Structure 1
Amino acid sequence: MGLYPFETIEKKWQNVWREKRAFKTDDEKGNKKMYILEMFPYPSGNLHMGHVRNYTIGDVVARYYRMKSYNVLHPMGWDAFGMPAENAAIKYGVHPYEWTIKNIENMKRQLNSLGISYDWDREVATCFPDYYKWNQWLFLQFYKKGLVYKKKSKVNWCPQCKTVLANEQAEEGRCWRCKSEVELKELEQWFFRITNYAEELSKDLDILDGWPQKVKVMQRNWIGLSEGVMIKFKLSEKVDGYKDDFIEVFTTRADTLGGATFLVVSAEHPIVKSILENKNNDELKEFIKEYERERIQNRFTVGVTEKKGVALGIQVINPLTNEKIQVYASNYVLMGYGTGAVMGVPAHDSRDFEFAKEKNLPIRYVIRPEGNGFYEEDKAYEEEGIVINSPHISGLKSSDAKKKIVEMFQKDQMASFSKQIRLRDWLISRQRYWGTPIPVVYCEKCGIVPLGEEDLPVILPTNVEFTGTGGSPLANIDEFVKTKCPICGSDARRETDTMDTFVDSSWYYLRFCDPKNNDEPFSVEKAKFWMSVDQYIGGVEHAVLHLLYSRFFVKVLRDLGFLNIDEPFSNLLTQGMVLKDGEKMSKSKGNIVDPEEIISTYGADTARLFILFAAPPEKDLEWSDQGVEGAHRFLARIWKLFNENLERIKNVEASVEEDLTEDEVNIYKKLNKTLLKASNDIENKFHFNTSIAALMEFTNEFSYSLRNEKIRPKLIKKIFETFTIILSVFAPHISEEIWSRMGHTDLVCFQNWPEVDPDYLEDDICTIAIQVNGKLRDKIMVEKDLEEEAIEDKVLSSLRVKKFIEGKQILKKIYVKNKIFNIVVK
């Protein structure tokens, strides 16, 4: 497929970029900064097409903003701790460090072969002490602030291997290694108090205008912040061993209290334990066992498919109706949310409806729609409305009934307004080797003792043996475990748990601001300049945990005085998956496409161009061999077109003459339209596919004009120069070669992005003034027939405009077609 000499060209320019350190970031270079970051990878050994897509998207954006005279930070590093390295040690007998370093070297080589413009001087790897020292330092700062604690928690436990398993290791409730059935076991674990920030984490999603709505919804649901009412249901008879004479529930629908015909508690509720300890209930015992098996299999599942439950043989009194209602233990109520008990209102909750049908329990409708609406009696009506069939509150609107319930019962402390969250504190303990040692020792005299900052880093020892018999190998290394108490000097033992690797990735973007700092995790001044990340790019699979933990870290560091921002990532792009034959690429499906094979056969520029052209970044991309060949043919065509005209332009100066012919005016207008299209697409929605399509369309018209010799050499050179600069962000290697062959001694990646020439715009282009509260803040050029919604997207994506509307409430938007777009804020 050697239609142009891509092998020679690509190696040549990769060497030049490396020798010239072309993409090195200078902290001192101007105040107009742009921090572009793709989620750093786990060094698994080989890049896959998802990686190629992710990093190429980021590279286009980084190259573009460098040309727009921004000071660009575009770093790369490695999320290098984690379970796969330990698994490899057990399976292949290779040390996790060796396995990890070898994989890093290979993946770095692959990234360079793609021509990604990283500042490798800022490279970090989380498995090195100069990085994980600061994990430990941050742990200590969190500890001092009261955000770290240790308590018993249920974990996945393999009785055969005698070790704790991560959720990923408990495959369908069985140990991944020995296939034994996994149990839930209570162990002492370390936690971060992320729940202290739950309300802020939920509410601040509203200010993240540059995030996809679906990601914000996922985070909001995970946090599960709810405002509602606590209601106490008195027990009809005392339950031995249970400390209260009531069961308290949390509900967001106190207006439906009259329809509560049963009560449901979690299998882990204290009253269930009391009943098991004092009564022989075989059915309940069996249910608890089954519940625990389900919990292991569905640790991250919010809902359950089949609603199961067992009557506890006790009753409570509905405080509104004074009726005695049955109490059940069920699998659809979680102890971690609210009080671990809910009132069963089957007429107005679909889960309760399903459960009531199964148990043949009463279903009483107590809400009807407002106006002339009606509800169907064969399913739950879950909307608010007017209360019916309820003593004291019938006839009230739902919102008023909720307040009335609290007024009626708060005197006797039977009801109160409350906020609840679904989010649990972050369990950071891992009973594994390949991770950051937790900087704590245990002393018989002093108890739990955090180390001093001067004692950091606690080095992860390398002399470990992986026997496959379970447990962390750290516990078997006496010289690591045995130490002295920093307070009293007595014998002490080190913590052998290591930190969850999500800790590493929760602040790495801050280390990139100042990666060589040996005195602190990052300079406050450098973080103040670079943060927040202007554009973050990564897979939607990290939409909840990684992003949530990173947001938590920033808020804590802000409160500790190290940052002056509230959020780490201003704008987020979650790219779609790369599919083949309609399915995600995977080894098990045998549909993997190897990036190295594509690069060796067609070249890196072809791989980049195809993956950017095949679909918009946020959409899934279907792999196509024909599409790859098409991208290669397009580059070969450009190469041929340039070389056919090289002699005509080699020794002339690029310029636009005043006396252009009609043909020259037309092609120069087309060039300006293509430039405008690429600029708008890159800055606004990253629709690289339409930018590349515009380049292809222009190439067709330019080729026709050149064949007919209707354009003079000076304009031809001007067009080739502008076209090559645009192409360079997508296909940088061939662009550098063409730029060099035109006689330029400097690199194309060092050029300024061309300005659209307003004297040569096609009739369908107009300039719109963007105002904020009536003051001009920016101007954009757009197609005249563009829909108002698309205009609004471009306006709100303007970086200049964002500075004036960030954190403010938009009251209204006023659009005067093709002239002015005014945003009114307060």
Structure 2
Amino acid sequence: MKYDFTAIEKKWQKKWLEEKPFTAVTGDKTREKFYGLIEFPYPSGQGLHVGHARPFTAMDIICRKKRMQGYNVLFPIGFDAFGLPTENYAIKNHVHPAIVTKQNIANFTKQLHMLGYSFDWDRVVDTTDPSYYKWTQWIFLQLFKKGLAYKASMPVNWCTSCKCVLANEEVVEGVCERCGSEVIRKEKSQWMLAITKYADRLIDDLDDVDYIERVKIQQRNWIGRSEGTEVDFTATNGDKLTVYTTRCDTLFGVTYMVISPEHPYLAQWKDQLTNWEAVEAYRQEAARKSDFERGELNKEKTGVRLEGIEAVHPVTGKHIPIFVSDYVLMGYGTGIVMGVPGHDQRDWDFATAFGLPIVEVVKGGDVTKCAFALKDDTGIMVNSDFLNGLTVKEAIPTMKKWVTEHGIGHPKTNFKLRDWVFSRQRYWGEPIPLVKCEKCGWVPLPEEQLPLLLPDVESYELTDDGESPLSKMTDWVNTTCPKCGGPAQRETDTMPQWAGSCWYFLRYMDPHNDKALASKEALEYWSPVDWYNGGMEHTTLHLLYSRFWHKFLYDIGAVPTKEPYAKRTSHGMILGEGGEKMSKSRGNVVNPNDIVAQYGADTMRLYIMFVGDFEQAATWSTDAVKGSKRFLDKVWNLAESAADSRELTPANEAVLHKAIKKVTDDIDTLKMNTAIAAMMTAVNEMTANGVTKGDMGILLRLLNPFAPHVTEELWEQLGFAAETGRMCCQAEWPVYDASKTVASSVEMAIQVNGKMKGTVTMPVDSDEEAVKAAALAVDKVQKATEGMQIVKTILVKNRLINLIVKPQ
């Protein structure tokens, strides 16, 4: 019978939808729960790509195995459907974003079914569904009520053509990535979330979770906690110039200061600066650059020296110059930095460019190349007055104490992490449930009025001054204040796409609840997520944001655990043939639909796991895909040759038990490629030995999580479904016997004077006399030793015996 993968896959996908073998049951105390989670996919118009298929397939394998091991498994799916790509498409094609979203979700869902994923389809969520975003709005209100949501004016990237705010990654070389127009910096009022108030806990609690180390490192580096000192310099006009430094021991090496182009002091000093025109021109130039461009370490150092105002060194009393330079960002630290060119590469580059003094204050530094020893606590202080002769380790606390006692500084813990800009001047996002009342200020909507629905608009274009399309909906905007009953206006900014993905894993636990984001019973039963796999590109945004929201919900008693995810792993990306990143422009994008049509979904799943180490980038190979298909053909043919017995073939017993151990262990450690290799080896050995249906029953269960369609079909054809009343995916996962992972007998080579004369099968670890006797019973050995004297026997245990002979 032919392996007709198209018919087989459609058959079993239909059966799974009808019989729902993957449904999770909240509160089932008879089984241990397992919650496996993938990242919330964005349903783009391009649909599913191999970048989705790799992590989705891996978690599907894990969850399928867990079910077969008896766990009550929650493996859900949903759609992160708000966002800019859909809105841009809607604007371009004059169609409502909701229609685009519905079409994209339908296509995405079809593709997910096509690949045979064992999602619990009764728990699907969609961030654009009002029954979902009602609770996103509810969480925002709780943040607002606790003072963690606030409005502030801040510099943003502004596209002069699109008339909208851009994220840093949407600005490329000073122009809009979408339209190519000039991008400038401008002040805009934005809603902010005070994630910085959770900075310490977001770092410290990483010790309590099972995340791969590189994820923890990225989180810690992004938050960027450092212990340092705030030191007050003074401008010659009397204004205080506060800087933050982790190395206050280098104060004697400060030879200049730098202020951010956005710092409010500059506008205040306009009449005191004799070169204001040059300063203002530089500020305008800096406004055209993104924070990313300005922060580039290797970029050319530019700036303008302030003429008319200098800084007074707080320790030496000397006057030092102040520069305005775009590498100092107002959003980081105090917006003013001290320059220590003898011991900082960036400062050395700047000082060299502007001919400023460079002073060595840590002995051993090479100030001509800036090869200094700042990281060496044993470095000795020089040119530093009362610090001279101290080690760096001794000098830091000494200077901290000195500046504190003299009232010019104090110890300070600082973070790189900034508060989260949470509003967007967009249509396709969650409405922010607040109104602005002239009398009462910002007032939250009563919770019983949620959800605040997104109204229909005639145009999704932003206004000329960059406001949301909602601002033109006067009937929707104008309302009454819930507090005083007076006139008020709704907030017309919407939430960012990140909002809905901050808590989706909680909604999966109880997706149809209209009284709470999830019931207490569901939250206590399923929390926390046992295993979450996602991309490294989301480590410092989505992962951090969702941990922040979860900790806040824990603080207000809404969830039972302080961390959302017990375990977090990550995957490498799939590169196009030739090792380049897949992109439409390169023409190397692999469409899963094409692979499934040509080779089948099981081949696609198998190959995407066999392509390489799951945590590393891997290169797509069409020829290798064919190899995965050949393996499934071999399994199919092997099943058709199986003898009608439920007993194991003795020669296959060790083969199968070794495979069970290897596949079980490898799935648990995300080594899917070596698990597949082990099954390929087992199939080769079983083909040589011959198989029974009993042998195939074990093989099919091992292979089922990887290739669910073909294994279900063979399970049914071999009679196991009728016999057990269960599908293969519902069968028990095989358990290995350690004593049976070692073969009871081995085939040994026989040599006479080093020349091969045959083989003999012997019990494992047979002694020399037994092997010698068996070897001498072999015809070719008898002929080779006839009339000869055996002078020596060489035994390599379990491998070969070599008889050394000579004429008698």
- 2:751 aligns with none
Aligned to 1:226: 226
Aligned to 2:803: none
Q: 3-state SS of the aligned residue for 1:64?
A: helix
Give 1:350's match in structure 2, choosing from 324, 345, 352. 345
CA contact (8 A) 1:336 1:422 kept: no
Instruction: Say if 2:627 is the partner of 1:630.
Output: yes
Contact 2:463/2:469, CA 8 A, preserved across alignment: no
Structure 2 residue identity aligned to 1:436: E
Is the Cα–Cα contact under 8 Å of residues 38 and 536 in structure 1 kept in the other structure?
A: yes
Q: Deviations over 1:721-771 (max 9, x none)?
A: 11110000100000101111111222010011111123312289xxxxxxx
Q: Distance in 1 between matches of 2:703 and 2:93?
A: 45
Aligned mates of 1:341, 1:488 — CA distance in 2: 44
Change in CA separation of 1:378 and 1:179 when aligned onto 2, cut-off 3 Å: closer
- Cα separation, 2, equivalents of 1:554 and 1:98: 32
Aligned to 2:207: 206
Distance 1:422 1:141, change over 3 A: same
The one-letter code of the counterpart of 2:217 is V
CA separation of 1:261 and 1:166: change in aligned 2, threshold 3 A: closer
Alignment-derived partner of residue 483 in structure 1: 479
Q: Please state whether the residue corresponding to 2:385 is helix, strand or coil.
A: coil
Q: Point out the more displaced range, 306-315 or 134-143.
A: 306-315
Are 1:524 and 2:500 an aligned pair? no
SS of corresponding position for 2:79: coil
Contact kept in structure 2, 1:182 and 1:296, CA below 8 Å: no
How far off is 1:273 after superposition? 2.7
Alpha-carbon distance in 1 for matches of 2:651, 2:280: 82
How far does the alpha carbon of each residue in 1:443-470 deviate from its partner, in whole angstroms, 9 at most, with x for none?
A: 2332221111011110111243235765
Map 1:670-685 onto structure 2 (within 5 A): 670-683=655-668, 685=669
Q: 1:596 to 1:178 in 2, by over 3 A?
A: closer
Residue 443 to residue 248, structure 1, CA distance change in 2 (3 Å): closer
Partner of residue 750, structure 2: none
**Match 1:458 to one of 452, 473, 476:** 452
Aligned to 1:497: 493
Q: How far does residue 333 in structure 1 lie from its aligned partner after superposition? A: 2.0
1:697 to 662, 668, 681: 681
C-alpha contact 2:359 2:367 (8 A) present in aligned 1: no
Equivalent residue runs for 1:716-795 within 5 Å: 716-745=692-721, 746-762=726-742
Kept after mapping to 2: 8 A contact 1:346/1:380:
no
Give the 5 Å matches for 1:283-362.
Answer: 283-295=278-290, 298=293, 303=297, 305-313=299-307, 314-362=309-357
1:161–1:469 contact (8 Å) kept in structure 2: no
Deviation, 1:488, is 2.3
Alignment of 1:263-282 (within 5 A): 263-279=257-273, 280-282=275-277
Measure, in 1, the Cα distance between the counterparts of 2:449 and 2:276.
Answer: 54
| Correspondences of 1:170-181 after superposition (within 5 Å) | 170-175=171-176, 179-181=180-182
C-alpha distance in 1 between matches for 2:71 and 2:298: 50
What residue number does 2:583 align with? Answer: 586
Change (3 A) 1:357 1:167: closer
Q: Is the 8 A contact 2:185 2:289 kept in 1?
A: no
Shift of residue 422 of structure 1? 1.5
Deviations 1:175-230 (A, max 9, x none): 4565442222222211111111112112223333x323222222222212111011
Among 587, 597, 609, which residue is 2:594 paired with?
597
Distance 1:32 1:738 in 2: 29
Aligned mates of 1:304, 1:506 — CA distance in 2: 35
Matching residue within 519, 535, 541 for 1:539: 535
SS at match of 1:346: coil
Q: Return 166-175 or 688-697, whichever deviates more.
A: 166-175
Aligned residue pairs, count: 730
Q: Unpaired segments of 5 or more residues in structure 1?
A: 239-243, 657-663, 765-826
> Are the equivalent residues in 2 in contact too, given 1:405–1:415 (CA < 8 A)?
no
Deviation string, structure 1 residues 263-285 (Cα, Å, up to 9, x no partner): 22222223333333543423222
2:607 partner letter: F
Q: Is the 8 A contact 1:263 1:326 kept in 2?
A: yes
Task: Tell me which amino acid in the other structure corresponds to 2:720.
Answer: H
Partner of 1:797: none
1-side partners of 2:438 and 2:320: how far apart?
A: 51
Q: Is the CA contact (8 Å cut-off) linking 2:426 and 2:462 kept in structure 1? A: no
Look up the SS of the partner of 2:233 in the other structure. strand
User: For 1:678, what is the secondary structure of its paired residue?
Assistant: helix
Higher gyration radius (CA):
2
Report the Cα distance in structure 2 between the residues aligned to 1:582 and 1:751, rounded to whole angstroms: 40
Deviation at 1:364, TM superposition (A): 1.6
CA positional deviation for 1:302: 6.7
Q: Secondary structure at the match of 1:593?
A: coil
What residue in structure 1 maps to residue 83 of structure 2?
Answer: 82
Offset from partner CA, 1:589-619 (integer Å, 9 cap, x none): 1111110010011000000000100112111
Match of 2:653 in 1: 668
2:799 aligns to what? none
Distance 1:178 1:704 in 2: 63
Alignment check: 8 A CA contact 1:38 1:55 kept: yes
Whether contact under 8 Å (2:360, 2:367) holds in the other structure is no
- Superposed, 1:215-254 pairs within 5 Å as 215-235=215-235, 237-238=236-237, 244-254=238-248
CA RMSD of aligned residues (A): 2.0
Structure 2 residue identity aligned to 1:755: V
The code of the aligned residue for 2:686 comes to F
Separation of aligned partners in 2, 1:249 and 1:168: 28
Taking a change above 3 Å as real, the CA distance of residues 690 and 379 of structure 1, as seen in their structure-2 partners, is same
With structure 1 as the length reference, what TM-score do the two structures score?
0.85
1:431 pairs with one of 401, 425, 435: 425
Q: 1:477 to 1:676 in 2, by over 3 A?
A: same
Alignment-derived partner of residue 150 in structure 1: 151
Moved more, 566-575 or 419-428: 566-575
Q: Deviations over 1:32-85 (max 9, x none)?
A: 111111101111031111011121111001101111111111000000000111
Q: What is the rounded CA distance, in whole Å, between the counterparts of 1:505 and 1:640 in structure 2?
A: 45
Residue 194 of structure 2 corresponds to which residue in structure 1?
193
For the 8 Å contact 1:353–1:380, the answer to whether it is kept is no
Matches within 5 A, 1:797-812: none
2:375 counterpart residue number: 383
Deviations 1:762-781 (A, max 9, x none): 289xxxxxxxxxxxxxxxxx
CA distance in 2, matches of 1:375, 1:177: 46
Distance in 1 between the 2:424 and 2:101 partners? 19
Deviation at 1:667, TM superposition (A): 2.4
Match of 1:95 in 2: 96
Residue 10 of structure 1: CA displacement? 0.6
2:291 touches 2:329 (CA, 8 Å); kept in 1? no
1:405 alignment counterpart: 399
3-state SS of paired residue (1:347): coil
**In the TM superposition, what is the alpha-carbon distance from 1:397 to its structure 2 partner?**
1.8
Deviation per residue, 1:680-716 (Å, 9 max, x gap): 1111x2101001001001111110111xxxx6xxxx2
Question: Aligned in 2, Cα 1:359/1:463: closer, same or farther, shift over 3 Å?
Answer: closer
SS in 2 for 1:588: coil
For 2:562, give the aligned amino acid: D
- Residue segments in structure 2 that go unaligned for 5+ positions in a row: 745-808
Alpha-carbon shift at residue 287 of structure 1 (Å): 1.6
Task: Judge conservation of contact 1:554–1:568 (CA < 8 Å) in 2.
Answer: yes
